[in-house]
Amino acid sequence: MSELLLVVTIAGERVALPAAAVESVVELDTLIPVPRAAPHIAGLAALRSRVLTVIDCMRSLELGDTDCSDGIREAAVVELDGHHYALIVDLVEDVVESLSEPAAVRAAMEPGWDRVSQGMVETEQGPLLLVDVAALIAGVEAKAAA
Amino acid sequence: MDDLIADFVAECREMLEALGGEIVAWEAQPDDRARLDSIFRFVHTVKGNCGFFDFPRLEALSHAAEDALADVRAGRRHADGTLVSAVLAIIDRISEMVAAIEAGEDMSAGDDSALIASLEPGAEGPVAPLVTTTTDVATKASAAPRTIRLSVELLDRVMSTVSDMVLARNELARRLRESTTDVPVDGAFERLSSIIAEMRDAITRTRMQRIENLFVGLPRMVRDLSAELSKQVLVDVDGGDVELDREMIEMIRDPLTHIIRNAVDHGIEKPAERLKAGKREIGVLSVSARQSGNQILIDIQDDGRGIDGKKLVEKAIANGDIAKEDAAQLSHRDQLALIFEAGLSTAKQVTAISGRGVGMDVVRSNIERIGGIVEVDSRLGEGTRMTLRVPLTLTIIPALTVSIAGQHFAIPRSAIEEIVRSNGESVTLEHLGGAGVATIRGRRVPEVSLATILGLKSEVDENDRTLVVLRPAGGDVYALSVDRIHDHEELVVKPAAPAVMATSLYAGTTLADDGSPILLMDPAGIAEVGGVKLETLERAARIAEVPAAAVSRATAVLLFRGLDGGRRALRLAVVDRIEEVAAANIKQAAGQLRVQVGDAILPLAGASAAEVGEGKIRLFRLNDGAHEIGYAFAEVVDFATIEHDVIHAERPGEISGVSLINGEPAELVDAHWLFAHHVGTAARASGQLVCRMPRDDPWMQNMLRPIVEAAGYRVIGEDAEGDADLVIASQGEKVDAANAIYLRNEPEPKGKKDDSIYRYDRAGLLMALKSAGGGRRK
């Protein structure tokens, strides 16, 4: 069964998000920080009348910080349990069709990627890592607490 | 087909909910034809739909019930307890099946023949009706209001569109303010504005539900409970037409259920016990809801055995919750409040229904989470009353916006007690072992810095910050220091993402007028994170100030008659003193009425120019620590305390609400609003530099005075009492002052010794004003 995938770049790596989960792709302007929240919560942003909780994917993956100082960032908006999140990515590339079911990646991944991985999917552009949006949003600490 | 099934399920649910109360009422009055008809209609509808959908079990059940009820309707049979119980059992089974259908479960297996058999006349021998004397459970079958069914998503979408519209309106308002516009444009915008406000109100209402939805299930629940406990309880439900936010209803469902279970289990005694105590054998449990301002009050009252405060105290001491010596100081109210402590229950034995010692603390925390309060009042042997106070809606919250290090936050206004400047006269701030303690008019409250809690770097010196005195719902007072106070706003609050809520500092997110997100702070959460020890602290503080504590907890007010004859009240704390001035001292000046009191000119509130008249006017001098205003009144009536509920005004204004004081309604004057409204730049700030200048010199008064005042001086006349930091006089006059400025009329000085300043030498004047001011500050 083929599924549409949104190809994005996070930390220099091309990965796939399930396109069905992504509501829109937006450009974030100013972020309102949330003091004392988990480190991967980059802040809040307003999209029309909705408040988006902005997730710094780099930090969620323990791959360093996204530099938010230079202004506009691209982000994918997803909804999880009635809340809207914006996932900061380096670049939104394309929408492709998956050619296979996700298969386990049998090589050792970096811990951050391993945590959010749903497996590898074949596409016309070669194999891509399918990212679990919920795990990305949960970040490091949720996993540690679980 | 799926759609049809979904409709069927929704319809059944609605009817089932409405039916819960009807059946119990029918049992009480088996000959009540209207009730019988509505139950009959239900089973009939179910039967009809089942044939269409092929649910054989449902069909058989509803068919059997319909037959039995048809017999009753036709008078062939009497509706007795057995029949009622059997019909109830069938309706229960139907509702289980409906739930199964909704969940998509298979329910073809199972045997209902026992249930159907119990419907047969004489199935379990003749049984007397279970309850015979209950009468007026709810005398009229509630006529269902005309409704249509809408999906919640659609409503939410409309709601968010309206929020967008409000934001767009605010943006437009800002643009309009910045540019000069025509009056017609402003007028049109005003109209648009009010239409949008109306629309928002209406949309908010769509989220409202009658609290009946919560209440319909109660008679049934109490009936089952009392049967189980072999007690007799009459439920009296009132106020079902009060409307409450849909989400709110869900939030109070569990606490309410718990309180009612407690009341039936522990409160109301067994019939024999009741007779012995000289009460009717049937206990009365009344549940009522009413709206009071922007709160909903739900009372749950029973006439049972009441709560034994002493027993609670003993138990609390045994549990080590309070010290023995402290316990002796507790008032009756405090004793009762102990039932909200975790792990306390006076029930002699643990029953399946309640009394495990978990519960009331959970009830309280659940109610507090939605910004509500639980109160308890009880008399031993006479009964108990629990009152839930919950806000009308979760979604629109009046809030105060504050800022720390440039970032804005919102604080729910309901939790704010007062706002003081940390360098104000009646406020001192001290640090004890790193912990802040603010003393506000003699009251010590813990101080928490929002900047520290949030880990932000505040650019404002600690002593220049503003303290927001907070009383979290049900909790105790503490002061939160913030950099700056901004504005009162009505905010549309939405729940924040779990990762944000996990900090327990925030109650939600919202959008400010300019469309940027703002975090709404949770006052109880801040206190917790900030390490304020609320419960123990409050108790200790109260013990320290016995026995006046009980008195001081009520708000002391000054009751008076306004110039227009209105009966009003002002909080005593803001009234500095009472003055009497000549009516001639009151003038319309600089955009508002002002009164001259001694050498100060204060903005005057409480009067219009027409009401001032002639003769003497009496006025209160109100002081907020930094500014003063006058408030005109006709006569002082009394000192009093606010003991009754305050019904809050619809919108902020001079009157914040009304309350019964000494048995008569009185309007409460909102001192905060007065200050916010009247204190412009002209208000007299205490501790200002004072400049003396001739009062009768028109040039000085008209031309010079604004410059002097702009430089931060308060100007007084030459005959006014008090010390002046600076004296201004014309050249040639001689004044006795350390700092004096002499003004001359000619541009050139008369000689070398002439240290006077040319009256139009602005730079020279400002310099002299500045250096005179600097002299004092040294």
pLDDT for B227: 85
B500 touches chain A (CB under 8 A): yes
Place of tokens 């409050």: B538
B614 within 8 A of B409, measured Cβ to Cβ:
no
pLDDT for A86: 92
- Comparison of pLDDT for B645 and B84, the residue scoring more: B84
- Comparison of pLDDT for B512 and B197, the residue scoring more: B197
Q: Give strand pairing partners of A56.
A: A88
Look at residue B346 and tell me whether its pLDDT is greater than 60. no
Q: What is the pLDDT of residues B547-562, one digit of tens each?
A: 333 333 456 777 888 8
Q: Which of B69, B113, B72, B120 is CA-nearest to residue B93?
A: B113
Amino acid residing at B224: D
pLDDT for B533: 60
pLDDT for A77: 92
- Comparison of pLDDT for B204 and A142, the residue scoring more: B204
Q: Which residue of A has its CA nearest to B164?
A: A49
Size of interface A-B (CB pairs under 8 A): 74
Pairing, β A73-80 against β B443-449: unpaired
Residue B95 tokens read as 């509702």
- Comparison of pLDDT for A146 and B720, the residue scoring more: B720
Residue B96 tokens read as 């289980």
* Residues belonging to chain A with any Cβ–Cβ distance to chain B shorter than 8 Å: 30, 32-38, 40-41, 44-46, 48-51, 53, 81-83, 85, 137-139, 142
Q: Where are the alpha helices (DSSP H) in B113-245?
A: 113-117, 152-178, 183-206, 212-215, 217-228
Mean local confidence (pLDDT), B21-43? 76
Distance, CA of B542 to chain centre: 24
Instruction: Categorize the per-residue pLDDT at A48 as very low, low, confident or very high, splitting at 50, 70 and 90.
Output: low
Burial degree of B692 (CB within 10 A; 0-12, 13-18, 19+): buried
Mean local confidence (pLDDT), B309-319? 81
Can you tell me the distance from the alpha carbon of B480 to that of B624, in angstroms, rounded to the nearest whole number? 18
Residues of B in contact with A44 (CB under 8 A): 500, 509, 517, 519
Instruction: Categorize the per-residue pLDDT at B162 as very low, low, confident or very high, splitting at 50, 70 and 90.
Output: confident
Out of A37-46, B122-131, B621-630, B742-751, which region has the weakest mean confidence (pLDDT)?
B122-131
What's the length of chain A?
A: 146
pLDDT for B344: 59
Can you tell me the distance from the alpha carbon of B253 to that of B298, in angstroms, rounded to the nearest whole number? 12
On the CB side of B716, how many CA atoms lie within 13 Å of its CA? 20
Cis peptide bond upstream of B547, omega within 30: yes
Mean local confidence (pLDDT), B258-274? 87
Instruction: Categorize the per-residue pLDDT at B132 as very low, low, confident or very high, splitting at 50, 70 and 90.
Output: very low
Report the gap between the CA of B486 and the closest CA in chain A (Å): 17
Q: Give strand pairing partners of A95.
A: A6
Mean local confidence (pLDDT), B717-733? 75
Inspect the interface and report whether the beta carbons of B499 and A41 lie closer than 8 Å.
Answer: yes
Q: Is the pTM of this model over 0.80?
A: no
Q: Which residue of B has its CA nearest to A79?
A: B497
Give the best residue of B163, B395, B494, B509 to mutate against chain A (max A CB count within 10 A).
B509
Report the gap between the CA of A45 and the closest CA in chain B (Å): 6
- Comparison of pLDDT for B320 and B680, the residue scoring more: B320
Look at residue B275 and tell me whether its pLDDT is greater than 70. yes
Instruction: Categorize the per-residue pLDDT at B778 as very low, low, confident or very high, splitting at 50, 70 and 90.
Output: very low
Q: What is the pLDDT of residues B514-527, one digit of tens each?
A: 668 889 888 878 88
Q: H/E/C letters for each residue in B613-638?
A: CCCEEEEEEEECCCEEEEEEECEEEE
pLDDT for B687: 57
Inspect the interface and report whether the beta carbons of B455 and A48 lie closer than 8 Å.
Answer: no
Instruction: Categorize the per-residue pLDDT at B543 as very low, low, confident or very high, splitting at 50, 70 and 90.
Output: very low
Residues of A in contact with B499 (CB under 8 A): 37-38, 40-41, 53, 137-139, 142
Percent of chain A with pLDDT over 90: 10
Q: What is the pLDDT of residues B164-176, one digit of tens each?
A: 787 778 778 877 8
Find the CB nearest B515 among A46, A83, A139: A46
Place of tokens 């659609």: B154
Rounded to the nearest 10°, the torsion over CA B389, B571, B648, B337 is: 0
Q: What is the pLDDT of residues A121-144, one digit of tens each?
A: 888 888 889 998 988 888 876 444
**What's the DSSP call for residue B149?**
-
Mean local confidence (pLDDT), B568-589? 76
Amino acid residing at B143: A
Can you tell me the distance from the alpha carbon of B758 to that of B755, in angstroms, rounded to the nearest whole number? 10
B63 within 8 A of B47, measured Cβ to Cβ:
yes
Residues of B in contact with A79 (CB under 8 A): none
B462 within 8 A of B429, measured Cβ to Cβ:
yes
B544 touches chain A (CB under 8 A): no
Report the gap between the CA of A35 and the closest CA in chain B (Å): 5
- How many angstroms separate the Cα of B221 from the Cα of each of A138, B84, B227, B660? 40, 15, 10, 37
What phi-psi label fits residue B223: left (phi over 0), alpha (psi between -120 and 50 degrees) or beta? alpha
Inspect the interface and report whether the beta carbons of A46 and B519 lie closer than 8 Å.
Answer: no
Find the CB nearest B497 among A46, A48, A83: A83
Look at residue B423 and tell me whether its pLDDT is greater than 70. yes
Amino acid residing at B132: T
Out of B477-486, B639-648, B654-663, which region has the weakest mean confidence (pLDDT)?
B639-648
Can you tell me the distance from the alpha carbon of B311 to that of A89, in angstroms, rounded to the nearest whole number? 62
B453 touches chain A (CB under 8 A): yes
Look at residue A89 and tell me whether its pLDDT is greater than 80. yes
For the residues of B283-326, what is the DSSP string, one character each? EEEEEEEEEETTEEEEEEEE-SS---HHHHHHHHHHHTSS-HHH
Q: Which residue of B has its CA nearest to A142?
A: B499
Mean local confidence (pLDDT), B692-710? 76
pLDDT for B252: 85
B494 touches chain A (CB under 8 A): yes
pLDDT for B473: 56
Look at residue B129 and tell me whether its pLDDT is greater than 50. no
Q: Which of A132-146, B184-198, B463-477, B724-738 has the highest mean pLDDT?
A: B184-198
pLDDT for B760: 76
Q: Which residue of A has its CA nearest to B526?
A: A36
Residues of B in contact with A35 (CB under 8 A): 407, 453-456, 503, 505
Look at residue B539 and tell me whether its pLDDT is greater than 60. no
Inspect the interface and report whether the beta carbons of A83 and B506 lie closer than 8 Å.
Answer: no
Residues of B in contact with A30 (CB under 8 A): 516
- How many angstroms separate the Cα of B66 from the Cα of each of B5, B22, B58, B175, B633? 22, 16, 12, 67, 71
B131 within 8 A of B29, measured Cβ to Cβ:
no
Out of A3-12, B106-115, B622-631, B691-700, which region has the weakest mean confidence (pLDDT)?
B106-115
Inspect the interface and report whether the beta carbons of A38 and B502 lie closer than 8 Å.
Answer: yes
Look at residue B353 and tell me whether its pLDDT is greater than 60. no
Mean of per-residue pLDDT scores for chain B: 75
Look at residue B301 and tell me whether its pLDDT is greater than 80. yes
What's the length of chain B?
A: 778
Inspect the interface and report whether the beta carbons of B498 and A34 lie closer than 8 Å.
Answer: no
Instruction: Categorize the per-residue pLDDT at A70 as very low, low, confident or very high, splitting at 50, 70 and 90.
Output: low
Report the gap between the CA of A69 and the closest CA in chain B (Å): 16
Can you tell me the distance from the alpha carbon of B328 to that of B330, in angstroms, rounded to the nearest whole number? 6
Q: Where are the alpha helices (DSSP H) in B579-738?
A: 609-612, 671-678, 698-699, 705-710
pLDDT for A78: 92
Instruction: Categorize the per-residue pLDDT at B681 as very low, low, confident or very high, splitting at 50, 70 and 90.
Output: very low
Other Cβ atoms less than 10 A from the Cβ of B291: the count is 15
Distance, CA of B174 to chain centre: 30
Q: Give strand pairing partners of B444.
A: B439
Other Cβ atoms less than 10 A from the Cβ of B552: the count is 12
Other Cβ atoms less than 10 A from the Cβ of B530: the count is 19
Looking at chain B from residue 402 to 441, which residues have their Cβ under 8 Å from any Cβ of chain A?
407
B457 touches chain A (CB under 8 A): no
